[in-house]
A and B are shown apart, each in its own frame.
Chain A
Amino acid sequence: MIKRTLPILAALAAAVLFAGAPAFGQAKKVKIATEGAYAPWNFTDASGKLAGFEVDLAAELCKRMKVECEVIAQDWDGIIPALNAGKYDAIMAGMSITEKRREVINFSNPYAATPAVMVVLKSSPIAKALPLGDTYSLNKTTPEADKAIAAVKVALKGKAVGAQVSTTHANFLETYLKSEVEIRPYKTTEQHDLDLTAGRIDAALAAMSYWKPLLDKPEGKDMVMVGPSFTGGVFGSGVGIGMRKADGSLLAEFNKAVAEATADGTIKKLSMQWFKFDTTPQ
């Protein structure tokens, strides 16, 4: 209780003292959590420093907000509870904006959008049976999307499919393929890649923006994207910055910065640099 009321009281005091100044002052340091294990969105480089699309974008946004920022690494599976426990102020970790997450935290407007797609080994029979298809939105039930999901069900019947725990991808498997496939939850995406290569799972589901750069690298040379890709619905409406519900002023600041960075092409530039395709939300 004290933890929560103190900053509010401090903010109120500041507002009274510097009438007209925003409650969210310039002296404040914003702590941003990322996973550090989801290349190229965010990862830990050879020297142990955090790098990636979101680390660069965070620097850009903070420059626009004129605040000092610190980006820290936090395990994915506890990233939302730790935000609400006050360990940091914002999450930028390739996190999709979903209704379920909106119940517990606030999101900025999206700064990236990327469909979800499955990957199998090139040598797998699924690679032939389910060639890479179109992108379907799951926002509404459409006959096209239903047909696409039905095709996935047929091709993957009885197979083991991996996804990172606590992701929209795991959620998709739980929602649509639970009775057809064996779902294997992994702590990180790197772990399902290892198991895919080792042949323990038949397919893995993750964001296209994760797969594309990986498939160009030696580690991904035996992998291939298959089947339809999906957006919307359980996959949410793009990737946004997560914040505590009480931090309304920070949300407004971030939204303004995201809008600016989208308008002047900064997000597009970073996206081309890290993903090799444009992930700016349309």
Chain B
Amino acid sequence: MDLPFLWNTARELIAGVPLMFQLVSLSLALGLVLATLVALVRLSPWPVLSGVAYGYVYVFRGTPLLVQVFLIYYGLGQFEWIRESFLWIFLRQPYWCAILALTLNTGAYGSEIIRGGLQAVPWGQVEAGRACGMSGWLLFRRITLPIAVRQALPAYGNEMILMVKATSLASIITMLEITGIAQRLISQTYRAIEILLVAGAIYLLINFLLTRAVKALEHWLSPHLRDAPAPVLPNAALVH
């Protein structure tokens, strides 16, 4: 093992972490908004809207992200009217194409996770809320949403991990994130195995930190599952 080489490689690859972090956080934030809207529409009583939302979920879950990235980047760029519209300000740049593809993808998966979370809220909890005089938005905000979020979190944590790994596809549309830099380094040194090992280790480390963070959030949101603090028992020696 050539340790100095691995160390240098790691330092070069870490330069791609900020871009990866931007891609993940921005597309997850936008994707979460989209996912919530789509989930609410899916659960709405309007069949046409619900059908459209289902169509979107069906298409973006059913096609590979690689194909979506290619279609958005190279596909949309083929149309003259898109190149002449205001959309081109964004679509011209590989950065926004990557954000768009990742957002649409995570929006589709996320909406199903949120829908599942909302539908799994126990009816008894909602009923109890109603019995206390809550209804509508207040009931949703105080009872339904917190329980749904707590229930959806493990699945959504999975989705966040998948998104970290999905950013590697941005390298095929010329973005120099971790995988993109790794490819450039391989082209300069031809030491594919070492470089890809280091790249893999960086993804692993990021996802380790991410899983810890999700776990901490789960813990914080589940006070009812934690052990109660140990009761302060009177000292036995003093009683007797």
Which A positions have Cβ atoms within 8 angstroms of B? 77-78, 80-81, 84, 100-101, 103-104, 162, 165-167, 170-171, 184-187, 191, 194-195, 198-200
Q: Give the residues in chain B near A198, CB-CB below 8 Å.
A: 74, 77-78, 83, 92
B31 interface hit (Cβ, 8 Å): no
Cβ-defined contact, A186 with B74, below 8 A = no
CB–CB A185/B180 < 8 A = yes
> Which B82-99 residues sit within 8 Å CB-CB of chain A?
83, 92-94
Q: Are B192 and A186 in contact (CB under 8 A)?
A: no
Q: Is B184 an interface residue (CB 8 A)?
A: yes
Main SS of chain B's interface residues? helix
Contact residue among B74, B92, B180, B183 (Cβ-Cβ distance under 8 Å from A191): B74
**Residue B119 interfacial (CB < 8 Å):** no
A185–B78 CB distance below 8 A: no
Chain B residue contacts of A186, Cβ below 8 A: 174
Contact of B208 with A by CB under 8 A = no
How far is it, in angstroms, between the C-alpha of A195 and the C-alpha of B193 when the chains are bound? 31
Q: Do residues A100 and B77 form an inter-chain contact, with CB atoms below 8 A?
A: no
Which residues on B are within 8 Å of A, measured CB to CB?
Answer: 74, 77-78, 83, 92-94, 172, 174, 176, 180, 183-184, 186-188, 190, 192-193
A181 to chain B, nearest CB (A): 13
Within the assembled complex, what's the spacing in Å between the Cα atoms of A224 and B183? 29
Q: Provide the residues of chain A in CB contact with B174, threshold 8 Å.
A: 162, 184-186, 195
Q: Given the complex, which residues of A lie within 8 Å of B193, measured CB to CB?
A: 81
Pairs of residues from A and B, 5 with the lowest C-beta to C-beta distance, nearest first: A166-B187, A198-B77, A81-B192, A184-B174, A104-B190
User: For B187, what are the chain A residues with a Cβ–Cβ distance below 8 Å?
Assistant: 77, 165-167, 170-171
Out of A100, A170, A200, name the residue touching B94 (CB < 8 Å). Answer: A200
Chain B neighbourhood of A77, CB < 8 A: 183, 186-187
B200 CB, nearest partner CB in chain A, Å: 16
User: A198 vs B78: C-alpha distance in the bound complex, in angstroms?
Assistant: 7
B183 is contacted by which of A103, A166, A171, A199 (Cβ under 8 Å)? A166
A185–B184 contact, CB under 8 A? yes
A80 touches B190 (CB 8 A): yes
Closest Cβ of chain A to B116, distance in Å, is: 37
